[in-house]
Amino acid sequence: MIKVATHSAILEVGVEAVSFADVYAVAREGAGVRLGEAAEAAIEEGRRVVDRLAGAPTPAYGISTGFGALATRHIPGEMRTQLQRSLVRSHAAGSGPEVEPEVVRALMLLRLSTLATGHTGIRVETARLLAGLLTHHLTPVVREYGSLGCSGDLAPLSHCALALIGEGEVRDAEGRLVPAADALAAAGLAPVELVEKEGLALINGTDGMLGMLVLAIEDLRRLLRTADVAAAMSVEGQLGTDRVFAADLQALRPHPGQAASAANLVALLADSGVVASHRGPDCNRVQDAYSLRCSPQVHGAARDTVEYAAGVAGRELASAIDNPVVIGDRVESNGNFHGAPVAYVLDFLAIATADVASISERRTDRFLDVARNHGLPPFLADDPGVDSGHMIAQYTQAGIVSELKRLANPASVDSIPSSAMQEDHVSMGWAAARKLRRSVDGLTRVIAIEILTAARALDLRAPLSPSPATAAVVTALREAGIAGPGPDRHLSPEIEATVALVASGEVLRAAESVLGDLA
């Protein structure tokens, strides 16, 4: 049973864009939500426009007509409540495993943020109920499959809208599966009866793919700094040089991510007894392998890709996405729901993630090959031949990296027409986001195995001492119950424990406890 994180903080959603930090607070920390006064005023103003058009004899799309390829039918006033209810029920057509609660909370917050702009025509009471679900930690069940990323994330958002009308299922704060009507009643909330335009207002946005993008950006920023820690441990453990990371060399190619990564490596390797041991004139190493020497170039390119994606995400957070949209005193159809801008960067990040994992696996493999590890035992085994050491840990890495390469195949290049050819080009942005989440998880595991292996190698370099920063990482592993070199033992629990330390940020914090914040 997965409990939803709860937090006493309450985020006020206004007419301005929510921030990355707001998304993290609500999605991952369980902060509650309320609408600000300015947002409620904007919502009411937008609603007045919809009410006026609803009473007009001229059909208005989404207000008094059908939807998509059925938009040519005019719907009389007495059937419009049924129209909105039918829209939500029919579009809540997801299938497959449940989507993670943090993703659902993120997409609900982002939909509420768009509602708060006043451009959707929603009623205040409906928007308040959406905020109430977040505050009471009632998370609608959303399924893995169903969104084409255009017109927005229709099926996932429809599953959330279904809960607002008291239908479908939700997870409560304890993770229990509860009928939505019962959960609302237990929280003192009443379901709403949707009126003109509200069904579309609740389901027509890129909120699911955007929420996953924002969460992935946070994860990747942490993981790429952790990848620098892993690379430093590998350079050190394989008797590599830190001279190639010098700032003047990096300045010859002024990519900001590369400079930051190289600066991290210099700091992490400072005062290393292992590195100092082979600085003398008797060292016959001309230059290190690419996987060591080019770590800042690869990690840095990934960093720059993440920051480009963050720029796209920031613009999308500032967007008001719906169709049709209330603008001034009119309602207009548009194409802003198309997920292409978000889908492209989701795919771009999957490419960068796969490549960072690939170079991490190559650094790890060098530790295990007696022809390349500069005096370490084969596979870092205690008694090679009797013991296999980390031989199969590298197999695990290789299997994950192979999967990440498949996940790097872009989803956004595909399009399958839908809605009787009315929606004849779609973004597949939701699929791009789902595979990126799997990619981020895979990268976490690959980096963890590199750190686990490098820590063992550094122990084997004794009596040479590692740098204070990398030593702090080794200590963090040992204090977590992950033993050092010795005879073979059940390795999977040690891998999983290291994965947890990487995912939680504990590995990064260990290094930063010595150095301060890494770039």
Asked whether the beta carbons of 357 and 442 are under 8 A apart, the reply is yes
Neighbour tally for 144: CB within 10 Å: 16
- b/e per residue, 178-210, with b = 16+ CB within 10 A? bebbebbeebebebbebbbbbbbbbbbbbbbbb
Token pair in block for residue 224: 């790429």
Helix (H, G, I), strand (E, B) or coil at 363: helix
Asked whether the beta carbons of 319 and 339 are under 8 A apart, the reply is no
Selecting among 24, 61, 290, 395, the annotated active-site residue is: 61
Q: Is 61 a catalytic residue?
A: yes
C-alpha neighbours within 13 Å on the C-beta side of residue 194: 31
Q: Which residues pair with 170 in a beta bridge?
A: 140, 178
Query: What are the strands, taking DSSP E only, across 176-293?
Result: 177-179
Helix (H, G, I), strand (E, B) or coil at 269: helix
Q: Which residue has the tokens 């480009």?
A: 308
Nearest to 208 by CA among 153, 160, 159, 164: 153
Question: Which DSSP string corresponds to 23-90?
Answer: HHHHHTS--EEEE-HHHHHHHHHHHHHHHHHHTSSS--TTTSB--GGGTTSB--GGGHHHHHHHHHHH
Asked whether the beta carbons of 142 and 40 are under 8 A apart, the reply is no
- Residues designated as active site: 61
